[in-house]
Amino acid sequence: MSRDPSEPVIETRDLSKVFGRFTAVDRVSFSIRRGEIFGFLGPNGAGKSTTIRMLCGLLSSSSGTAQVNGHDINREPELIREAIGYMSQKFSLYRDLTVAENIAFFGGIYGLQGARLRDRTATVMTLAGLTGQENHLTGTLSGALQQRLALGCAILHEPPILFLDEPTSGVDPVSRREFWDLIRGLSARGITILVTTHFMDEAEFCDRLGFINAGRLIALDTPARIKTTTGSATLEAAFIKLAT
Ligand SMILES: Nc1ncnc2c1ncn2[C@@H]1O[C@H](COP(=O)(O)OP(=O)(O)O)[C@@H](O)[C@H]1O
Ligand SMILES: [Mg+2]
């Protein structure tokens, strides 16, 4: 399907999720354009993962609307899942499988076979810096390598959209930096990325940020403009001002 490149790739309007009497996501509206790195920032429990799970078509919304790659999240979740890669907070790798077995497993889920599977496997192994470690047990790899493998598995089927939920938690600062280089490379190739983090230093690497607090979007702008409009030296200071 050909789409107008100026159209937003992800768009939400008053998106909300209620669990019982608790509102986890409260009328959140934003749009993300092709190739953008959009950072979703907020403390634990703010509603980041719930928003991502709705945008991945895994969880229906309570009210409001959202489109991902032109598909409504509640009506066409299966079409959304073909267009996205999703790296969940816990990496979702099988620790007792080898690197090659994990890739084959995720390739199978995405319906990759034969030459395409072999090609994509080689590309992902190179990207993840895992060449030569095909037969290592995943659980024995460092946190940084597991994270790169999880990213590789999420992009095996070359999705145009990538959701990364706290991809760098539990990873050392140098590896976090390298991981961000990978993310920037994917964005430069036109992949749209929504990434959540609670590391304020990483937020600086995003093109635009949404600050979320108690389910509500409290800021939506570039890192530079969020700092200037709040008169803050750091994003952390800006967040505190906006949240209180
Ligand atoms: N399935 C669920 N049932 C009830 N409450 C939930 C459910 N999923 C998430 N929540 C609650 O919604 C809030 C937001 O959670 P979450 O989106 O995981 O936050 P974050 O990812 O920003 O840490 C939390 O208070 C969490 O306990
Ligand atoms: Mg979360």
Minimal-distance CA residue to ligand 1 atom 24: 45
In a domain, 68, yes or no: yes
Question: What is the number of domains present in the chain?
Answer: 1
Structural domain boundaries, residue 16 = 10-91+162-243
In a domain, 107, yes or no: no
In a domain, 137, yes or no: no
- The reported pLDDT for the residue numbered 33 is 95
Three-state SS at 190: coil
Kindly give the parts of the chain with pLDDT less than 70: 1-6, 91
Which residues have C-beta within 8 Å of that of residue 169, sequence separation ≥ 6? 89, 198
DSSP letter at 69 equals T
User: What is the Cα–Cα distance from 244 to 241, expressed in whole angstroms?
Assistant: 6
| The amino acid at 159 | P
Q: Are strands 208-213 and 216-221 parallel, antiparallel or unpaired?
A: antiparallel
In a domain, 119, yes or no: no
Q: Which atom of ligand 1 is nearest to the CA of 53?
A: 17
- The CATH number for 189's domain is 3.40.50.300
- The reported pLDDT for the residue numbered 3 is 55
In a domain, 111, yes or no: no
Quote the ligand 1 centre to 12 CA distance (angstroms). 19
- The reported pLDDT for the residue numbered 197 is 87
User: What is the Cα–Cα distance from 98 to 208, expressed in whole angstroms?
Assistant: 37
What the block records as the tokens of 204 is 């600086």
